[in-house]
Amino acid sequence: MFEMLLSKWAWETQNWGFLIYHICKYKEQICMT
């Protein structure tokens, strides 16, 4: 579910969305929290 949200965010804000998406991919802990 979080991934979908990030995807939508990435579309709206490619800059922040992409950054957060990468960070989330790197640190799954943040995603799980």
Query: What is the number of other CB atoms lying within 10 angstroms of the CB of residue 6?
Result: 19
pTM score of the predicted model: 0.33
pLDDT band for position 27 (cuts 50, 70, 90):
confident
Give me the residue spans of the domains in the chain: 2-32
Enumerate residues 6+ apart whose C-beta is below 8 A from 2. 24, 31
Higher-scoring residue by pLDDT: 17, 2: 2
Q: Report the pLDDT value the prediction gives residue 30, as an integer from 0 to 100.
A: 55
